[in-house]
Amino acid sequence: MELREVHITRYVTPLREGGSLPAIAEADDAFLYVLKFRGAGQGPKALVADLIGGEIARKLGLRVPELVLAWLDDSFGKTEPDEEIQDLLKFSTGLNLGVHYLSGAITFDPVLHGISEELASRIVWLDAFLTNVDRTAKNTNMLMWHRELWLIDHGASLYFHHNWDTWEKQALSSFKAIKDHVLLKHAAGLEEADTRAKEILTDAFIDELMAAIPAQWLVEENDRQVYGDFLKIRLKNSEIFVKEARDAREALV
């Protein structure tokens, strides 16, 4: 797996959502991207989680905007009048993550936009697998674009990496936060989604994905191995989090 690389040529506008201050930026391929900065609050760990989560979702056949590796020159920020943004740009010189900007997309609303049980089940399974705490009614991290559902922002996934000592325990966690998932009540086909995902997410694919993580985003090279081991262990023991999601759904319906 090899992500495209682009060079950011123009900072367009900040997206003042949350504490990370992502921005819309233009690259040398003339496309616009939502730029996720390595110098933001959670640092490069959020970029790693976003890359892993997005590419796993894509492998499972879910729609995710293209992810690119985005180079930011040290000249950015020198003329930026906002001091907070200026500091963010300065600390993000080098390699960042770009997400193709879906111009005109609107936020997914489960009341307004219908979704099949099959698709809901695949998304709930994905987020339970990734331990993604950020796909709730308050913040769905899903967009409707050209009448199709797109997943964005997996940066809150894999939260074990904020405490490396617990990664083996977290790999076997049931992930109780799944009870707050915005699509949970529609996810009637979790077992089918589990079977399908385990056929697709091979060890070879996980190894290839781990190799795509930029070394600049890792504290230690061994972190790459830990991410891969976490995913493989969690996948082999998926019945733990599938049961948690199924039980949580039964409590809802």
User: DSSP letter string over 149-182?
Assistant: EEE---TT--GGGGSGGGHHHHHT---GGGGGBT
Q: Cβ distance 38 to 106 under 8 Å? A: no
Q: Cβ distance 136 to 196 under 8 Å? A: no
- Nearest residue to 123 (alpha-carbon basis) of 138, 109, 142, 139: 142
Structure tokens at 155: 């940066």
Backbone angles phi and psi of 48, in degrees to 5: -60, -45
Q: What is the pLDDT of residue 17?
A: 60
- Cut 0.85: pTM above it: yes
Q: What is the pLDDT of residue 80?
A: 67
Domain boundaries, the chain: 5-100, 110-139+160-252
What is the number of other CB atoms lying within 10 angstroms of the CB of residue 25?
25
Q: What is the pLDDT of residue 77?
A: 63
**Low-confidence residues of the chain: pLDDT under 50:** none
User: Computed over its alpha carbons, how large is the radius of gyration of the chain?
Assistant: 18
Q: What is the pLDDT of residue 18?
A: 52
**Burial letters 222-248, b for 16+ CB under 10 A, else e:** ebbebbbebbbebbeebeebbebbbeb
